[in-house]
Amino acid sequence: MNFGTVGTSWITSSFIQASQEVNNFTLTAVYSRSEQKVKDFAEKHQAPFVYTDLEEMAKSDKLDCIYIASPNSLHFEQAKLFLQHKKHVICEKPIFSNTKEFQEAFQVAEENGVYLFEAIRNIHTPNFEVLKHAVEKIGPVTSTILHRNRYSSKYKEYLAGGRPNVFTAEFSGGALTDLGIYPLALAVSLFGKPKQVSYVANMLESGVDGSGTLTLEYDNFVSTVMCSKISTSYIPCEIQGENGSILFDDAGSILDMKYIDNSSGQEEPIQTYSLEDNMQYEITNFLQIITSQNNEEYNRLKELSLLTLSITEEARKQNNIIYGSER
């Protein structure tokens, strides 16, 4: 299968690098509005074709699938364009700005007989499978603290008066939709749909959240999801149960896992995998769904993406975070 990319940031380079570990998935084309930038990017990654016109790229018979990693607010129109030209789409998280865009895009995918995926890499890794099995050991869950707090390289630019995309409502930015999606996806993948959600945001003057705490209320416990792009956390994530607790590093990589027994206090290391190119697992899963037409798994991932998006949409509503496309 031949694929192309939209976006020239580090995440696109990481996706291309990860694709080299996947069989039958070949980079064919890259896109940027800037001719010089796209030529440099193509040379860096040895892509044979370059495009500065998105419509022309969508019409091309040189690719079967597109990976979109443009600013968040552009995902919907770009994805819809490729879907209408019968290209499979892998869209970097967050997949879209709101559930209205989500429903329309998936309808277009269905009408054109192609697949649409959200790239939330942590829930596709072997370490997520390790975590799922480890949680079974702790008995009934009583509480969780899951987080992804990373000081953004763009924050100093914002403080200096700049308008980096990730800190603006115009481009559907903010901490929860950018970084909070990782711990949120873990929570709903493990525990399902919560009864109630509540988000306390640390708002920036630009109209988006620089950090925040999201609580997900379940029948017998509360899952706390923390995220930040203006500070970094150095404490582990924790899932507590009646028998013991599972601790691991941040929700993005799920490394350095251990079990602590409540009765004895004894610590037991849990083996995880060192995953330098952990995007390869989501690519492999998506390709397997496409080639085998595994619609059951496809619909499971679709519903998971819809659930995470509906939660972030509700969280934004509670804090009057209104994206540019919603005004």
Residue 326 in any domain: the answer is no
Do 115 and 127 fall into the same domain? no
Do 162 and 252 fall into the same domain? yes
Mean pLDDT of 191-217: 99
Mean pLDDT of 165-175: 98
List strands edge to edge, sheet with 116-119. 49-51, 26-31, 2-6, 65-68, 88-92, 116-119
pLDDT beyond 80 at 277: no
Residue ending a domain, among 241, 257, 275, is 275
Supply the range of the domain harboring residue 197: 123-275
Residue 276 confidence (pLDDT): 67
Burial of 115 (0-12, 13-18, 19+ CB in 10 A): buried
At 97-123, the pLDDT tens digits run: 999 999 999 999 999 999 999 999 999
Do 98 and 144 fall into the same domain? no
Total domain count, the chain: 2
Residue 145 confidence (pLDDT): 98
Strand 116-119 to 88-92 pairing:
parallel
User: pTM for this one?
Assistant: 0.96
Do 178 and 196 fall into the same domain? yes
pLDDT beyond 80 at 266: yes
Residue 310 in any domain: the answer is no
Residue ending a domain, among 249, 275, 301, is 275
